[in-house]
Amino acid sequence: MAVIPVAIAGAPYDVVIEEGALARAGALCRPFVRKDSVAVITDENVAAAWRETVTASFAAQGIASQWLVLPAGEATKSWDSLVRVVDWLLGLEIERKDNVVALGGGVIGDLTGFAASMVKRGCGFIQMPTTLLAQVDSSVGGKTAINTAMGKNLVGAFHQPSLVLADPLSLDTLPLRDVRAGYAEVVKYGLIDDPEFFFWCEANAARLLAGEAEAREHAIARSVAAKARIVAADEKETTGVRALLNLGHTFGHALEAQTGFSDRLLHGEGVALGMILAARYSARIGLMSGQDAERVAAHIAAVGLPASLKALDMNCDGQTLKNHMLHDKKMDAGTLPFLLMRGLGQTFLAKDVDLADVAAFLDEELAR
């Protein structure tokens, strides 16, 4: 078991990483639940796997649980679902000091957190992330959002949870493809500023993906500690520190956009390939060695994540991908901040990247 404090000024909280945390959710949440009932928002897949466990653990503490079960999938991060969640919570007479529970992946966490940010001008919420991506990334740091017709995550709020309970056992029911996609964000923390952790990943990824308890808990705890450190230093992404978390994401989002944000390429898969591209581009302009860049590519390929742009069959050129980047929400007064590497674990924010050169580089990668 690991408890990682997230030291956000004015809104500190703990992330508890524990095998069996969902079975002990009632006891772990007891100090955060003031009444004899609690509202839980989840999706159909998570409910099928974990509703009984969570219901029983609350019941053992004398807490009844009320459930709102939404359809699974990215489409649930919508205006319609937001209205549904908010109205449902208001119907339960949730008060500002109550904590509602988000049980699920990043979709449920982002949606529930956003709803909580507006109910009674902001009520509490507890994150119970059930995907690896949500455990190491989206449940920590307080970014919440929905998607609109104009794009992903364009409407949202910063709203920190009161508690995060991450149960590695929940990954036992998660499809391996989703586990791998979440693993891309784990590798990301090593590449940002923790080379030792990247080396650990190279040596232990297979154990982690096979579900070995010790490897899983170590990877989650180290990732959460990294995210906690970064968001505590720059909660609202104003100083550039939090931007480091976008390593691989500018390239990745362009690939996701070109594949229509569909099951063809999951977010973490786009990030995995995006990190390879960031590493290779860094090597191309002489920032890091080609050997280190290929070491990143080799690890991504070894765990079974997509590692070749050509293999994705994008049916587009570098210019098209570059144009997707120009619509990135991180655009800043006409320039696009890029995360590049000076070496393994030496990521920095580069502001003077030549986009025409990036397009030419992508043409080469598309043919490689």
Ligand X SMILES: NC(=O)c1ccc[n+]([C@@H]2O[C@H](COP(=O)([O-])OP(=O)(O)OC[C@H]3O[C@@H](n4cnc5c(N)ncnc54)[C@H](O)[C@@H]3O)[C@@H](O)[C@H]2O)c1
**Contacts of residue 275, Cβ cutoff 8 Å, sequence gap at least 6:** 184, 187, 188, 191, 247, 248, 251, 252, 296, 300
Q: Per DSSP, what are the bridge partners of residue 350?
A: 338
Residue 40's H or E segment, with its range, is: strand 37-43
Q: Is 138 in the site for ligand X (CB under 6 A)?
A: yes
**Span interacting with ligand X, options 78-86, 98-106, 277-285, 333-341, rule CB under 6 A:** 98-106
- Nearer to ligand X among residue 117 and residue 138 (C-beta): 138
Q: Report how far residue 225's alpha carbon sits from residue 227's, in angstroms, rounded to the nearest whole number.
A: 6
Q: Which of residues 258-287 bind ligand X (CB under 6 A)?
A: 267
Annotation marks residue 143 as catalytic: yes
Among 170, 223, 250, 282, binds ligand X (CB under 6 A): 170
Annotation marks residue 95 as catalytic: no
Q: Is 137 in the site for ligand X (CB under 6 A)?
A: yes
How far apart, in Å, are the Cα atoms of 310 and each of 17, 131, 246, 326? 38, 28, 23, 22
Q: Per DSSP, what are the bridge partners of residue 67?
A: 40
Q: Report how far residue 223's alpha carbon sits from residue 269's, in angstroms, rounded to the nearest whole number.
A: 18
Annotation marks residue 246 as catalytic: yes
Q: Report how far residue 171's alpha carbon sits from residue 332's, in angstroms, rounded to the nearest whole number.
A: 37
Determine the angle formed by the axes of helices 213-233 and 176-193, rounding to 10 degrees: 50
DSSP secondary structure, 171-209, as one string: GGGS-HHHHHHHHHHHHHHHHHH-HHHHHHHHHHHHHHH
Question: What backbone phi and psi angles, to 5 degrees, belong to 270?
Answer: -65, -40
Q: Is 49 in the site for ligand X (CB under 6 A)?
A: yes
- Nearer to ligand X among residue 182 and residue 318 (C-beta): 182
Annotation marks residue 218 as catalytic: no
Q: Is 246 in the site for ligand X (CB under 6 A)?
A: no
Among 173, 239, 319, 335, binds ligand X (CB under 6 A): 173
Q: Which among 18, 24, 45, 143 is annotated as catalytic?
A: 143
Q: Is 165 in the site for ligand X (CB under 6 A)?
A: no
Q: Report how far residue 199's alpha carbon sits from residue 292's, in angstroms, rounded to the nearest whole number.
A: 12
Instruction: Give rounded-to-5 percent helix, strand, coil for the chain.
Output: 55, 15, 30
Q: Per DSSP, what are the bridge partners of residue 340?
A: 348
Query: For residue 165, which amino acid is it?
Result: L
Q: Which of residues 50-89 bind ligand X (CB under 6 A)?
A: 72-74, 77
Annotation marks residue 185 as catalytic: yes
Q: Which of residues 111-130 bind ligand X (CB under 6 A)?
A: 130
Annotation marks residue 299 as catalytic: no
Q: Is 135 in the site for ligand X (CB under 6 A)?
A: no
Q: Report how far residue 240's alpha carbon sits from residue 192's, in angstroms, rounded to the nearest whole number.
A: 13
Among 117, 131, 162, 246, binds ligand X (CB under 6 A): 131
Among 28, 33, 105, 270, binds ligand X (CB under 6 A): 105
Would you state the structure tokens that stand for residue 95, as one six-digit string?
């008060």
Residue 290's CB: how many other CB atoms inside 10 A?
13
- Nearer to ligand X among residue 119 and residue 166 (C-beta): 166
Among 15, 23, 38, 45, binds ligand X (CB under 6 A): 45
Q: Which among 188, 222, 242, 280 is annotated as catalytic?
A: 242
Among 98, 110, 202, 217, binds ligand X (CB under 6 A): 110
Among 4, 119, 165, 174, binds ligand X (CB under 6 A): 174
Q: Which among 180, 267, 299, 322 is annotated as catalytic?
A: 267
- Nearer to ligand X among residue 45 and residue 282 (C-beta): 45
Q: Which among 253, 280, 299, 322 is annotated as catalytic?
A: 253
Under the rule (CB under 6 A), what is the footprint of ligand X?
Answer: 43, 45-46, 49, 72-74, 77, 104-108, 110, 130-131, 133-134, 137-138, 141, 143, 153, 170, 173-174, 178, 267
Q: Which residues belong to the active site?
A: 121, 143, 185, 227, 237, 242, 246, 249, 253, 267
